[in-house]
């Protein structure tokens, strides 16, 4: 950990006013303590142990309008370690968003972020990865960096506690999904619509919730008719407000998940035109096209008895008397049924009825059968090198 | 296929469909898929030539077939405008389409993401998703790049953002 900080200090310009590192988070309320207001959460009983935040590693994929703001929020919260991934450089065209400064134009987004973040909070261990995760090579580096346990060798599973996807396209989200399914790593998805007036965040736990490939991606309907949306001459619009709000929702959910307080939202949408926040939950699809997702689903089902036993033990340990009470006079007529038993034939119906205000962004793949004809033509030439030569011959023509 | 012009539609239906659902990390299955990719590209290129509508060259830039490079061109006012074309096969292919890049046009048009990746129409991704794994590289070129060039090159030329090479270098070669 120490070596990484030292390594990164070369990319960070240490201004004259940069504060020194703080060994332990203190709750002392003095104007020189950057953590006093955060530690107050503990005093107020909102969070049990705020200091634990220093043990956590969070990977942020995509350091754009949402990811950069999320990285600043987590840095100010005193997160232990941030891994930042992006292949892009800072452009002046990004200045309608938060975080990056004009003088950083031309720097890679990850290095510019490290520069700013290490100034804000030198206690955070920052790792910068300038790569494209969708290529075979980039993906390998991505996976191995998530696996690496250099920061906390005793940690179970892989080397990070949470992956935040802050990318702006479906392709990259599918890649994060692939990596997290393979690593059995919980992650959160975020997105802002191309018309900049809606967004969403989503929690994905491999095997337990729907993965990103289980159903076509769910987005918030902006309420604007696609046909009236003028797309001539532009790819996408963006607003610092919508992006900041989505980053805020994402990091709020992250803090609740890591520090175990409040309700962690499985899906939260944001419609800026109506100030409407739809929510929902999605079960995994047993017919998911992602084979690793199916493996995770199987593992999750197999672990059910252990999970049930642990939940029962926890309930008994926490409030044994109250539970007995509930059984005696169940005045609210609550039926005590394990909700996972209620799934039945509804499993995977995530693509069925959607809550108001949510729509699928893409259709599902059509069912298709191999036509007998395709087999025949496949037998004509079946050597890859032959085919390559054939294409080269046509190309040279 | 709502939202597509009749020529694109009829061309598309003549490109052989693929059947192996495999990406570059799938070993032997990827080899099978690659064979199908070549067959479709050979058929599409031949068809373009036969119809006097030859408009691209593409070939694998590495033995694994995960990176492709080549050229594409567009005729506007009887002048030929040619560009480098490149793309990587994503690890999640064919669930997601390759992102086609024209690096020489990076920064010259709004209809492009950073790095020269062309901005596809709202119709492309739904059609690709619906047809996974039957569409391959040839289909991506036909549905993605061809309509993009037809829509953007005239605008770029007329606005002066790109110049014909004869204007720039005064060479006589067409
Ligand atoms: Zn899935």
Quick one: which of A99, A55, A106 has its CA closest to A77?
Answer: A55
**Helix or strand holding residue A188 (H, E):** strand A187-192
- DSSP states of A164-201: EE--SSHHHHHHHHHHHHHHT--EEEEEE-TTSSEEEE
More confident residue, B66 or A346: B66
Between A229 and B25, the higher pLDDT residue: B25
Q: What ipTM does this complex have?
A: 0.87
Peptide bond into B133 cis (omega under 30): yes
The C-alpha atoms of residue B59 and residue A8 are separated, in whole angstroms, by 40
Asked if pLDDT for residue A370 goes beyond 70, the answer is no
Distance from CA of A397 to the nearest CA of B (A): 10
Between residues A55 and A233, the one the model is more confident about: A55
Given a contact cutoff of 8 angstroms between Cβ atoms, the answer to whether A146 and A83 are in contact is yes
With cut-offs at 50, 70 and 90, classify the pLDDT of residue A368: low
- A358-360 and A218-220 strand pairing: antiparallel
CA distance A396 to A312: 71
DSSP assignment, residue A149? -
Record the tokens describing residue B157, joined without a space: 């030329």
CA neighbor of A241 nearest in space, from A119, A16, A65: A65
The answer to whether the CB of A90 falls within 8 A of the CB of A106 is yes
Q: Which residues contact A174 (CB under 8 A, 6 or more apart)?
A: A212, A213, B90, B92, B95, B96
Identify the band that residue A320 occupies on the pLDDT scale cut at 50, 70 and 90: low
| Residues above pLDDT 70, as percent of chain A | 81
Q: What's the mean per-residue pLDDT of chain B?
A: 90
pLDDT of A378 > 80? The answer is: no
CA distance B169 to chain A (A): 25
Q: How far is B142 from chain A (nearest CA, A)?
A: 17
> Chain B closest CA to A158's CA: distance in Å?
21
Convert the pLDDT of each residue in A277-289 to its tens digit: 999 999 999 999 9
Query: A67 near A60, Cβ under 8 Å?
Result: yes
| C-alpha B110 – ligand 1 centre gap (Å) | 34
* Span from the CA of A294 to the centroid of ligand 1 (angstroms): 7
- Residues whose Cβ atom is located within 5 A of ion ligand 1: A 211, 213-214, 288, 290, 293
pLDDT digits (tens, 9 = 90+) for B68-112: 999 999 999 999 999 999 999 999 999 999 999 999 999 888 888
Per-residue pLDDT reduced to its tens digit, A186-231 = 999 999 998 999 999 999 999 999 999 999 888 888 776 655 655 5
CA-based nearest residue in chain A for residue B87: A135
Q: Do the Cβ atoms of A340 and A300 come closer than 8 Å?
A: no
Token digits for A242? 């919508």
Asked if A178 reaches chain B (Cβ–Cβ under 8 Å), the answer is yes
> Which of A:320-359 have CB within 8 Å of B?
none
Question: Residue A231: its pLDDT value, please?
Answer: 54
Contact A235 B113 (CB under 8 A): yes
Q: Do A175 and B92 touch (CB under 8 A)?
A: yes
Note whether A82 and A127 are within 8 A (CB). yes
pLDDT at A344 over 50: no
pLDDT in tens, A153-174: 888 888 999 999 999 989 999 9
Yes or no: say if A77 and A50 are a contact pair by the CB < 8 Å rule. Answer: no
Tokens 């020529």, residue located:
B7
Question: Does the structure show a pLDDT above 70 at A71?
Answer: yes
Verify whether the Cβ–Cβ distance A171 to B91 is below 8 Å: no
In this prediction, residue A10 has a pLDDT band, given cuts at 50, 70 and 90, of very low
The span from the CA of A124 to the CA of A134, in Å, is 27
pLDDT for position A335: 38
* Helix and strand counts by DSSP (H, E) for chain A: 12, 9
Running DSSP on this structure, what letter comes out for residue B81?
E
For residue range A35-52, what is the model confidence (pLDDT) as tens digits? 888 888 988 889 999 999
Average the pLDDT over each of A17-26, A53-62, B96-105, B153-162 and give the range with the smallest value. A17-26
Is 60 exceeded by the pLDDT of residue A325? no
Kindly give, in sequence order, each residue whose CB lies less than 8 Å from that of residue A84, ignoring residues fewer than 6 positions away: A59, A60, A63, A67, A71, A109, A110, A113, A114, A126, A127, A128, A129
Q: Residue B75: in which H helix or E strand, if any? A: strand B67-76
What's the confidence (pLDDT) of residue A354?
Answer: 83
pTM of the model as a whole: 0.84
The residue-averaged pLDDT of A68-88 equals 97
Q: Range with the lowest mean pLDDT among A339-353, B72-86, B141-155?
A: A339-353
Residue A82: CA atoms inside 13 Å, Cβ hemisphere, count? Answer: 35
pLDDT average, residue stretch B12-41 = 95
> Looking at residue A230, what is its pLDDT?
57
Per the annotation, the verdict on B119 as an active-site residue is yes
pLDDT at position A39 is 86
CA separation for the pair B134, B20 (Å, rounded):
8
Place of tokens 């994905």: A204
3-state helix, strand, coil in chain B (%, to 5): 40, 15, 45
When mean pLDDT is compared over A318-327, B21-30, B118-127, the highest value belongs to: B21-30
Cα R_g (chain B), whole angstroms: 16
Reported confidence tier of residue A330, pLDDT bands at 50, 70, 90: very low
Residue to mutate among A391, A393, A397, with most B CBs inside 10 A, is A391
For chain A, positions 218-257, list CB contacts with chain B under 8 A. Answer: 226, 231, 233-236
pLDDT digits (tens, 9 = 90+) for A111-164: 999 999 999 999 999 999 999 999 999 999 999 999 998 888 888 888 999 999
Residue B2 makes CB contacts below 8 A (sequence gap 6+) with: B123
Write b or e for each residue in A36-62: b if 16 or more Cβ atoms lie within 10 A of its Cβ, otherwise e: bebbebbeeeebeebbebbbbbbbbbb
Helix (H, G, I), strand (E, B) or coil at A178: helix
In angstroms, what CA-CA distances link A44 with A39, A41, A183?
A: 9, 5, 36
- Residue A220: the pLDDT is 87
**Residue B54, phi then psi, degrees to nearest 5:** -70, 125
Indicate the burial class of A280 (C-beta count within 10 angstroms; 0-12, 13-18, 19 or more): middle
* Facing A395 at nearest CB: one of B35, B57, B91: B57
How many angstroms separate the most distant Cα atoms in chain A?
87
Q: Which of A77, A158, A214, A235 is catalytic?
A: A235
Pick B152 or A30 by higher pLDDT.
Answer: B152
What the block records as the tokens of A176 is: 């994060």
* Adjacent-strand bridge partners of A128: A84
Q: What is the CA radius of gyration of chain A?
A: 24
A222 preceded by a cis bond (ω within 30 of 0): no
Sorted by sequence, the CB contacts under 8 Å of residue A312 that are 6+ apart come out as none
Region A237-246 average pLDDT: 94
> A84-98, A231-245, B141-155: lowest mean pLDDT where?
A231-245
DSSP assigned state of B142? I
**H-helix or E-strand containing B167?**
helix B165-169
Task: Evaluate if residue A375 carries a pLDDT over 60.
Answer: no
Q: What is the arithmetic mean of pLDDT over A303-331? A: 69
Of A201-215, A258-272, A283-297, B118-132, give the lowest mean pLDDT range: B118-132
Beta bridge partners of A79: none
Integer Cα distance of A192 and B1 in angstroms: 27
- At A30 the pLDDT is 83
- Under 8 Å between Cβ of A145 and A185: no
- Contact with chain B for residue A140, Cβ under 8 A: no
Six-digit token pair at A170?
Answer: 């479906």
> Does the structure show a pLDDT above 80 at A234?
no
């Amino acid at each position: 950990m120490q070596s990484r900080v030292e390594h990164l200090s070369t990319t960070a310009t240490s201004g004259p006013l940069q504060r020194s590192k703080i060994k332990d988070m203190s709750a002392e309320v003095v104007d020189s303590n950057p953590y006093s207001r955060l530690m107050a959460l503990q005093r107020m009983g909102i969070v049990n142990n705020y200091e634990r935040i220093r043990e956590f590693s969070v990977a942020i994929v995509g350091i754009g309008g949402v990811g950069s703001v999320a990285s600043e929020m987590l840095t100010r919260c005193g997160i232990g370690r941030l891994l930042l991934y992006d292949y892009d450089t800072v452009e002046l065209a990004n200045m309608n968003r938060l975080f990056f400064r004009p003088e950083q134009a031309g720097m890679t987004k990850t290095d510019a972020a490290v520069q700013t973040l290490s100034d804000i909070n030198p206690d955070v261990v920052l790792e910068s990865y300038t790569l494209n995760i969708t290529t075979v090579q980039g993906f390998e580096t991505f996976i191995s960096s998530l696996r690496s346990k250099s920061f906390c060798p005793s940690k179970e599973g892989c080397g990070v506690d949470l992956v935040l996807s802050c990318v702006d396209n479906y392709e990259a989200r599918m890649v994060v999904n692939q990596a997290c399914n393979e690593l059995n790593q919980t992650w959160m998805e975020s997105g802002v619509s191309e018309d900049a007036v809606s967004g969403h965040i989503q929690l994905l736990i491999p095997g337990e919730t729907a993965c990103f490939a289980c159903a076509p991606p769910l987005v918030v309907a902006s309420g604007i008719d696609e046909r009236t949306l003028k797309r001539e001459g532009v790819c996408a619009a963006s607003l610092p407000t919508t992006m900041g709000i989505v980053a805020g929702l994402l990091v709020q959910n992250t803090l609740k998940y890591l520090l175990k307080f409040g309700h962690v939202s499985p899906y939260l949408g944001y419609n800026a035109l109506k100030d409407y926040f739809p929510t929902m939950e999605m079960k995994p699809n047993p017919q998911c096209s992602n084979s690793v997702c199916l493996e995770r689903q199987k593992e999750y089902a197999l672990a059910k008895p252990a999970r049930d036993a642990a939940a029962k033990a926890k309930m008994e340990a926490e409030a044994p008397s109250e539970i007995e009470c509930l059984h005696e006079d169940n005045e609210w007529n609550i039926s005590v049924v394990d909700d996972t038993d209620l799934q039945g034939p509804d499993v995977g119906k995530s693509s069925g009825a959607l809550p108001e205000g949510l729509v699928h962004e893409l259709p599902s793949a059509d069912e298709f059968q191999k036509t007998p004809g395709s087999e025949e033509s496949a037998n004509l030439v079946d050597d890859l090198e032959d085919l390559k030569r054939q294409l080269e011959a046509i190309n040279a023509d | 296929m709502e939202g597509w012009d009749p020529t694109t539609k009829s061309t598309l239906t003549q490109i052989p469909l693929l059947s192996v659902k495999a990406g570059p990390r799938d070993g032997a299955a990827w080899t099978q898929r690659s064979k199908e990719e070549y067959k479709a590209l050979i058929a599409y290129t031949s068809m373009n030539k036969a119809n006097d509508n030859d408009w691209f060259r593409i070939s694998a830039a590495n033995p694994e077939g995960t990176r492709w490079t080549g050229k594409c061109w567009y005729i506007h006012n009887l002048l030929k405008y040619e560009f480098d074309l490149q793309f990587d096969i994503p690890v999640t292919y064919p669930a997601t389409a390759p992102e086609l890049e024209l690096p020489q046009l990076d920064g010259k048009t709004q209809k492009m993401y950073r790095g020269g990746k062309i901005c596809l129409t709202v119709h492309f991704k739904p059609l690709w998703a619906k047809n996974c794994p039957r569409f391959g590289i040839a289909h991506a070129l036909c549905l993605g790049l061809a309509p993009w060039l037809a829509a953007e090159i005239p605008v770029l030329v007329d606005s002066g953002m790109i110049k014909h090479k004869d204007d720039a270098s005064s060479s006589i070669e067409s």
